[in-house]
Amino acid sequence: MADFLVVAFGGNAILPSGRRGTLEEQRNNIRHMSAELGRLLADGHRVVVTHGNGPQVGEIMLKSELAREVVPPLTLDVGGAMSQGQIGYMLQQEIGNYLTQSQIEHSVCSIVTQVIVDPNDPAFETPTKPIGRFYGRTEAERLRREQGWDMVEDAGRGYRRVVPSPQPVTIQEWPAVRSLVAAGVLVIAAGGGGIPVVRERDGSLRGVEAVIDKDLAAQKLASLVQARTLVLLTEVDAVAVNFGTPQQRSLQLVELLELKGHQQNGQFPAGSMGPKVKAAIDFLESGGDRVVITSAANLIAAVNGLSTGTQVVRSRESAVSLQRTLTGHAT
């Protein structure tokens, strides 16, 4: 009766803004996350993990630009692949350490994942996806001038580089992910939204300079591998409507049609909850059972019940059936 989950962490959960960003800081954050993921395995759930990489890939590209007079610079797709390896390695190791210390036998592996996008996606004409650290106005202007980066002000926190963010079409390695999960492996895949690639006329793949939204990639992966639940972790405990007003209200157990209504009324900005809500709607419309949107601290409670975080279901009837399943599993 255990669940089959795709769990998506944000890159800022690994490297929060305002931190120096040492590898030890990142590893400490990953160690805490890994314990939570290990607990899901101990509860009998099948788990696929995906993660953001905005801060990490931004750091990799900055190092490349600073060293361009000494070594050839990287392309963004290669930087994305490097961040997948970096974060995947630390997650894989720390989850494995938790399982060993808990005397749980379970394999963990990372897959460097390519996500196919449409070369004619309009996103390539309008970069919108922030990556990397925050800069002051003067430093942002220097980077715009010297490196040719597109820089935008980000929610009053400073300036960040923005790159194209095309929609994911499909995931090249999804059959391998599905096979590994069926064999009892916890899989880390589609990190940072996956490496964006386009398919040429001869069938070959070619990397492109972009970053795919990790929530949309997580939804695509969850749908392809036929997970039952998609978990989107964020910095808040639940999704809210009328945010920042006296009428602000958190959404708890919400039906798909209600969520779509809020989306159509402009409740979820593109730079905030917009991608998560779109991912939730697309997942349920593609056959998924449930979407959980909550903070990492609520992960276990939200997965094992319907009373924590924002829980999105197709209908109240499906929620009743799901609750019976969760209650049966808990007992």
Task: Determine contact, residues 222/288, Cβ cutoff 8 Å.
Answer: yes
Q: Is the pLDDT of residue 109 over 70?
A: yes
The pLDDT-based confidence of 321 (bands split at 50, 70, 90) is confident
Kindly provide the residue ranges of all beta strands, DSSP E only, lying in the chain, ordered along the sequence: 4-9, 46-51, 107-110, 114-117, 129-135, 150-153, 159-163, 168-171, 185-188, 195-199, 205-207, 229-234, 240-241, 249-250, 253-255, 290-295, 310-313
* Beta-bridge mates of residue 141: none
Q: Which residues are catalytic, by number?
A: 11-12, 129, 214, 276
- Structure tokens given for 18: 């305002």
Neighbour tally for 119: CB within 10 Å:
13
With a threshold of 0.85, does the pTM exceed it?
yes
d(CA 82, CA 63): 12
Q: What is the mean pLDDT of residues 46-59?
A: 88
Residues in CB range of 51: below 8 A, 6 or more apart: 8, 9, 10, 11, 13, 14, 87, 91, 188, 191, 192, 214
Residues in CB range of 41: below 8 A, 6 or more apart: 47, 99, 104, 106, 186
Q: What is the mean pLDDT of residues 88-101?
A: 94
Task: Determine contact, residues 232/299, Cβ cutoff 8 Å.
Answer: no
Predicted local distance difference test score (pLDDT) of residue 277: 96
- In 3D space, the residue among 85, 104, 14, 26 whose CA is nearest the CA of residue 52 turns out to be 14
Q: Which segment of 12-21, 117-126, 220-229, 280-289 scores lowest on mean pLDDT?
A: 12-21
Q: Among residues of the chain, what percentage have pLDDT more than 70?
A: 95
Full set of structural domains in the chain with CATH? 4-117+169-330 (3.40.1160.10), 127-163 (no CATH)
Q: Which helix (H) or strand (E) holds 329?
A: helix 316-330
- Structure tokens given for 132: 């990397």
Across the chain, mean pLDDT equals: 90
Apex 171 CA angle, 85 and 219, nearest 5: 95
Predicted local distance difference test score (pLDDT) of residue 80: 94
Q: Is the pLDDT of residue 103 over 90?
A: yes
Predicted local distance difference test score (pLDDT) of residue 180: 97
Q: In terms of DSSP bridges, do strands 240-241 and 249-250 run parallel, antiparallel, or are they unpaired?
A: antiparallel
Predicted local distance difference test score (pLDDT) of residue 210: 92
Q: Among residues of the chain, what percentage have pLDDT more than 90?
A: 67
Residues in CB range of 199: below 8 A, 6 or more apart: 116, 205
- Structure tokens given for 108: 């963990």
- In 3D space, the residue among 161, 146, 152 whose CA is nearest the CA of residue 59 turns out to be 161
Predicted local distance difference test score (pLDDT) of residue 331: 46
Select the more confidently predicted residue: 200 or 22: 200
Predicted local distance difference test score (pLDDT) of residue 18: 61
